[in-house]
């Protein structure tokens, strides 16, 4: 059985900075005043600790929303109550839709590898940060992060109802110097990296911590031997 994932990507004309993505998320939630948990991942007992099916992004420097699986149905409420005159943080803006891209993406393990970039990836919690910083070998650090990357991809697949019947393999090919970012008031290390993986991962989805607000966003990358 082929596992095709429904995705709806909404791109806006409005440019935002990366630090404004949580403000953009809050703006959408406040505008809708929705009780639908998929918009905000909050429930009465606290948080919905599942993969986010509505994600808020910065794509090509502009605001965007990426919806997956049931999130593509829930976003209908956004369109039915859409008002372009909104407040981003403290700033009134005219929110203009640039384009809407509906997709059906085949997500599975293949015999070949695909090339990706991941941006603002936050793989380290307090526990594995200590482990990571104690590793002296660069090769071992790559392996440590590759294992976390595999875990993030498996969590994404589980969150959208997909099960893999083969082993998921990731190989990091380039790792930029990590940099600090703020996530819900907590300082974390973010990584930009290039990697190869035998899973067809949809472009612009997020994986790992903070995926709902632009962290761990996946981008397609051509292999270096291609034009």
| Domain of residue 142, residue span | 107-220
Instruction: Based on the fold, state whether residues 171 and 96 are members of the same structural domain.
Output: no
As a whole number of Å, the end-to-end CA separation of the chain is 34
- What local confidence, expressed as pLDDT, does residue 127 receive? 86
**Domain boundary pick from 66, 85, 105:** 105
Rounded CA separation 16/23 (Å): 10
DSSP code string of the chain? ---EEEEEEEEEEEE--GGGHHHHHHHHHHHHT---HHHH-EETTEE--S--SEEEEEETTEEEEEEETHHHHHTHHHHHT--SEEEETTEEEE--EEEEEEEEEE--EEEEEEEEEEEEE----HHHHHHHHH---HHHHHHHHHHHHHHHHHHHHHHTT---SS---EEEEEEPPPEEEEETTEEEEEEEEEEEEEE-PPTT-B-STTGGGTTTEEEE---TT--
Q: What is the CATH classification number for the domain harbouring 124?
A: 3.30.70
Could you tell me if 97 and 147 lie in one domain? no
- What does the alpha-carbon distance between residue 75 and residue 97 come to, in Å, rounded to a whole number? 14
For 17, residues 6+ apart whose C-beta sits below 8 A from its C-beta are 58
Per-residue pLDDT, 21: 95
Average pLDDT, stretch 146-159?
96
What residues have CB less than 8 Å from 38, skipping those under 6 apart? 52, 53, 54, 70, 71, 74
Say what the pLDDT of residue 192 is: 97
**Tens digits of residue pLDDT in 28-78:** 887 766 565 666 554 444 444 589 999 999 999 999 999 999 889 888 887
Give the C-alpha separation, 30 to 39, whole Å: 10
- Distance (Å, whole) CA 95 – CA 78: 13
- Rounded CA gap, 152 and 209, in Å? 9
Regarding whether 13 and 64 lie in a shared domain, the answer is: yes
**Final residue of a structural domain among 56, 87, 105:** 105
Q: What is the pLDDT of residues 92-135, one digit of tens each?
A: 999 999 999 999 999 999 999 999 999 999 999 888 999 999 99
Asked if residue 151 and residue 62 are part of one domain, the reply reads no
**Structural domain contains residue 59:** yes
What's the confidence (pLDDT) of residue 48? Answer: 45
86 against 156, higher pLDDT: 156
At 186 the pLDDT is 80
85, 105, 125 - which closes a domain: 105
- Specify if 226 maps to a domain: no
In a shared domain, residues 81 and 134: no
Mean pLDDT of 136-153: 96
pLDDT tens for each residue of 173-195: 999 999 999 877 788 899 999 99
């Amino acid at each position: 059985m082929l596992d095709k994932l429904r995705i709806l990507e909404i791109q806006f004309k409005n440019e935002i900075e990366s630090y404004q993505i949580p403000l953009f998320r809050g703006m959408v939630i406040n505008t809708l005043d929705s009780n639908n948990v998929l918009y905000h991942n909050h429930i009465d007992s606290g948080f919905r600790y599942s993969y986010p099916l509505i994600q808020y992004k910065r794509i090509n420097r502009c605001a965007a929303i990426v919806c997956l699986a049931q999130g593509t149905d829930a976003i209908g409420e956004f369109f039915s109550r859409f008002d372009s005159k909104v407040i981003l943080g403290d700033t009134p803006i005219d929110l203009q839709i640039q384009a809407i891209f509906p997709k059906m993406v085949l997500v599975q393990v293949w015999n070949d590898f695909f090339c990706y970039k991941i941006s603002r990836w936050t793989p380290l919690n307090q526990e594995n940060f200590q482990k990571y910083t104690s590793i002296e070998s660069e090769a071992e650090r790559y392996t440590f992060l590759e294992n976390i990357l595999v875990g993030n991809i498996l969590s994404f697949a589980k969150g959208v109802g997909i099960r893999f019947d083969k082993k998921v393999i990731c190989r990091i090919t380039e790792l930029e110097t990590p940099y600090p970012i703020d996530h819900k008031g907590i300082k974390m290390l973010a990584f930009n990296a290039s990697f190869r993986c035998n899973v067809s991962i949809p472009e612009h989805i997020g994986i790992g911590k903070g995926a709902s607000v632009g962290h761990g966003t996946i981008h397609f990358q051509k292999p270096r031997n291609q034009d």
